[in-house]
């Protein structure tokens, strides 16, 4: 079995354990997609306030970053599969709380933001460490491409189905049903995770590795940290804004589901193509093209934020985001595996990666909240979105000399 795993890695194939991990990831994304697209709308309908949503998201990012740093000790010195299952379990608990609170959920946004952040921190820390252990430089692009393909497929079917349920059953009952379905899919993901083997990690957790590494002048992690933070800036704001803007411009959860269906269908094709044909030697050029187009598709908003301009943005971003995200992710994990010493400290380096992303997410959300506190003028919001949305260009500038596979 072990020899088969190594043979598959050499050929760039995905073995049984990697496929199981991919399945856990897809179920987690499916459970999130069922409700996350509409959670912001659910809160918006109760508050009509972007700033309140911004604070909820900011708290989630802060608690996620702290969870990564603290839980790193448990993953390194304990059992990372327990951490993975805890992440899934707390995610299920999040939607159970939303179900119990019902229409009063917006009164408890501080609690909900913290619970969501802890859930995501536990799951993604464990997942990324296991992902590193099961893949290598030869099959990492393939795994990331397959993740994108399945995520896009889920993004096509699941939010569309959720929108149809909400539209047919009416707001309250429809939302309760999709939150319940999310809870059940999370539990299914936890069940599959028991088939993924735990691989022991040697040594003690180094709490200070991030600070010590960033203090070294020639460390490749300094530009990587900056690139990841820049990536997080865009993720935070656009992850919150786009679905809400579609709902506000159409007033319909059904049309939001249709939007997700169209955009995810394009993303499905793009992730498949990039994951299959993008060679490591083409990462640098591909990532540059991706970042330029990801920025350019924001410009139509200056003519007005309508369903049509949002569709232009969504389709353009879906087509070219894989050119950015696949080289970015693969190159960072290749760096973690660049030598034996670095691989031994994979937990700490995954924590560093996630801390960088969350610093960027916190920064992006702070910019978002500050902008809206001072002005709700469409022109001001569009400028803010262009500034935030162009941050992947900084990621490319930081990463351009590192976009070559290691080992």
Residue 359 has, within 13 A of its CA and on its CB side, a CA count of 14
User: Could you count the other beta carbons within 10 Å of the beta carbon of residue 12?
Assistant: 15
Closest CA to 243 of 307, 337, 152: 307
Which H or E run includes 380? helix 378-389
Would you give per-residue pLDDT tens digits along the chain (407 residues)? 444 444 444 445 677 888 899 999 999 999 998 887 788 888 888 888 899 999 999 999 999 999 999 999 999 988 899 999 999 999 999 988 888 887 788 788 889 999 999 999 999 999 999 988 888 878 887 888 888 888 888 888 888 888 888 888 876 788 888 888 998 999 999 999 999 888 877 788 999 999 999 999 889 999 999 999 999 999 999 999 999 999 999 988 889 989 988 998 898 889 888 878 878 788 888 899 999 999 999 999 999 999 999 999 999 999 999 999 988 988 898 889 888 888 889 999 999 999 999 999 999 999 999 999 999 999 999 999 999 999 999 999 999 888 765 44
Closest CA to 348 of 71, 152, 16: 71
48 by Cβ neighbours in 10 Å (0-12 / 13-18 / 19+) ranks as exposed
State how far the Cα of 119 lies from the Cα of 87, in Å rounded to an integer: 5
Cα 394 from chain centroid? 19
User: What CATH code would you report for 14-195+212-399?
Assistant: 1.20.1250.20
Q: What is the pLDDT of residue 259?
A: 93
Residue ranges in 251-345 assigned as alpha helix (H): 253-277, 283-296, 307-336, 340-344
> CB–CB of 259/364 below 8 Å?
no
> CB–CB of 351/72 below 8 Å?
yes
User: Could you count the other beta carbons within 10 Å of the beta carbon of residue 371?
Assistant: 22
Long-range contacts of 291-294 (CB under 8 A, 24+ apart): 291/324, 291/392, 291/393, 291/395, 291/396, 292/393, 293/317, 293/319, 293/320, 294/234, 294/320, 294/321, 294/324, 294/389, 294/392
Residue 129 has, within 13 A of its CA and on its CB side, a CA count of 34
**Crossing angle, helix 80-101 and helix 16-47, to 10 degrees?**
30
Cα 363 from chain centroid? 16
Tokens in use for 82?
């327990």
> CB–CB of 156/330 below 8 Å?
no
Provide the whole-model pTM: 0.88
């Amino acid at each position: 079995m072990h020899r088969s795993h190594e043979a598959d890695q050499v050929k760039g194939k995905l073995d049984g354990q990697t496929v199981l991990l991919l399945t856990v990831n897809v179920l987690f994304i499916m459970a999130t997609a069922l409700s996350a697209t509409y959670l912001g709308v659910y809160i918006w309908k109760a508050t009509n306030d972007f700033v309140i949503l911004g604070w909820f998201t900011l708290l989630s990012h802060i608690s996620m970053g702290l969870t990564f740093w603290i839980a790193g000790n448990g993953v390194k010195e304990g059992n990372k599969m327990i951490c993975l299952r805890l992440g899934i379990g707390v995610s299920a608990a999040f939607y159970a709380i939303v179900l119990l609170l019902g229409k009063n959920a917006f009164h408890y946004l501080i609690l909900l933001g913290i619970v969501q952040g802890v859930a995501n921190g536990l799951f993604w820390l464990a997942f990324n460490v296991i992902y590193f252990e099961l893949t290598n430089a030869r099959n990492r692009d393939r795994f990331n491409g397959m993740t994108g393909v399945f995520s896009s497929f889920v993004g096509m079917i699941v939010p569309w189905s959720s929108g149809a349920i909400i539209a047919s059953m009416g707001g309250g009952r429809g939302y309760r049903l999709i939150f319940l379905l999310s809870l059940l899919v999370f539990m299914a993901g936890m069940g599959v995770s028991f088939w993924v083997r735990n691989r022991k990690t040697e040594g003690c957790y180094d709490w200070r590795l991030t600070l010590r590494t960033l203090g070294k002048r020639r460390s490749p992690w300094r530009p990587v940290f900056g690139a990841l933070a820049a990536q997080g800036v865009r993720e935070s704001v656009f992850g919150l804004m786009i679905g809400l803007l579609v709902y506000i411009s159409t007033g319909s959860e059904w049309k939001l589901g249709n939007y997700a269906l169209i955009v995810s269908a394009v993303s499905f094709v793009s992730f498949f193509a990039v994951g299959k044909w993008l060679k490591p030697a083409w990462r640098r050029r591909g990532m540059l093209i991706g970042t330029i187009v990801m920025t350019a598709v924001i410009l139509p908003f200056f003519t007005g934020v309508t369903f049509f301009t949002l569709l232009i943005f969504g389709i353009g971003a879906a087509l070219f985001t894989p050119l950015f995200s696949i080289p970015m992710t693969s190159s960072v994990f290749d760096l973690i595996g660049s030598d034996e010493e670095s691989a031994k400290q994979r937990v700490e380096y995954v924590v560093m990666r996630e801390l960088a992303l969350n610093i960027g997410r916190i920064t992006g959300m702070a910019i978002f909240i500050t902008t809206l506190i001072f002005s709700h003028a469409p022109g001001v919001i569009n400028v803010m979105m262009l500034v935030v949305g162009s941050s992947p260009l900084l990621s490319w500038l930081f990463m351009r000399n590192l976009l070559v596979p290691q080992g």
